[in-house]
């Protein structure tokens, strides 16, 4: 059983219990009727070759790296650093078993920053979109390899109804061809192999190069240095989702500025 298959199996079992303790009706009652979506899609709607736009991620741990640095277990300081460093948006990993995430982190990010917030998780059920809306997300991640095409279509439609944007993640050109007809979403090209969890930026480069230029695309996983970003510069991309290299940095604001501008300060 692959890592993805194991996580999805665990997720479906957990959802059975969550639906009992927090039914959809209760989630709807917790959703702010005046909630304004911050423009996640509009921030990344076009591919360009200028200074990169970064989705900075809160990720407490990962299967490949173990526990990551969150000072005193509190993400507030990291969120502030991301804003100061010039992040365009935030990604909050809410999966608990393998990444130590929670919906509370999502709600805190919504409260503490004005940046658009993505709920990043292994979403398999419409219920999780209602959760995302209730806890303040502006967008949700859907993984093409984890879902049947009809399910992706239905979840994308529900997301639009709930005023949520969608980052639709692929790991290969074959996966993109399955979901190319799904419009109004950002395409995430993930460099991590779902079987081995290894990173291959060259493969992602080939996928992005083969995609139509009018499809907005976010490069995910394995971005650690400005040279990693420069690999994609000539292709034009909409942005980069970066987690581990920021979460392990002693100064994430400075690290962000170096990734965006190639130097620690914009005006150097």
Q: Which residues are catalytic?
A: 57, 59, 120, 169, 190, 220-221
Would you state the structure tokens that stand for residue 123, as one six-digit string?
């979403």
Q: How far apart are CA 268 and CA 265, in angstroms?
A: 6
User: Are 141 and 108 a contacting pair, CB within 8 Å?
Assistant: no
Strands 61-62 and 66-67: antiparallel
Would you state the structure tokens that stand for residue 41, as one six-digit string?
């899609």
Would you state the structure tokens that stand for residue 261, as one six-digit string?
């501008």
SS3 62: strand
Distances (CA, A) of 194 to 2, 19, 172, 190: 7, 28, 11, 9
The four Cα atoms 192, 64, 2, 206 give a dihedral, to 10 degrees, of 10
Four-residue CA torsion sign, 236, 240, 246, 248 = negative
């Amino acid at each position: 059983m692959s890592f993805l298959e194991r996580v999805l199996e665990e997720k479906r079992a957990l959802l059975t219990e969550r639906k009992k303790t927090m039914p959809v009706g209760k989630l709807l009652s917790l959703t702010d009727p005046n909630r304004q979506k911050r423009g996640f899609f509009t921030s990344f709607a076009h591919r360009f070759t200028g200074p990169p736009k970064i989705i900075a991620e809160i990720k407490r741990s990962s299967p490949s790296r173990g526990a990551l640095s969150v000072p005193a277990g509190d993400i507030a300081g990291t969120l502030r650093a991301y804003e100061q460093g010039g992040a365009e948006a935030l990604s909050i990993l809410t999966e608990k078993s393998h990444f130590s995430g929670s919906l509370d982190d999502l709600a805190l990010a919504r409260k503490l920053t004005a940046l658009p917030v993505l709920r990043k998780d292994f979403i398999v059920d419409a219920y999780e979109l209602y959760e995302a809306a209730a806890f303040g997300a502006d967008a949700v991640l859907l993984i093409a390899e984890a879902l049947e095409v009809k399910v992706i279509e239905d979840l994308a439609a529900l997301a639009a109804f709930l005023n949520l944007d969608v980052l639709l993640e692929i790991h290969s050109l074959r996966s993109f061809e399955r979901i190319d007809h799904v419009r109004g979403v950002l395409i995430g090209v993930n460099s991590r192999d779902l079987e081995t969890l290894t990173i291959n930026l060259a493969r992602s480069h080939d996928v992005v190069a083969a995609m139509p230029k009018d499809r907005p695309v976010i490069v995910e996983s394995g971005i650690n240095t400005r040279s990693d970003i420069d690999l994609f510069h000539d292709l034009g991309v909409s942005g980069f989702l970066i987690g581990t290299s920021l979460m392990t940095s002693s100064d994430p604001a400075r690290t962000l500025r170096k990734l965006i501008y190639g130097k620690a300060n914009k005006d150097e």
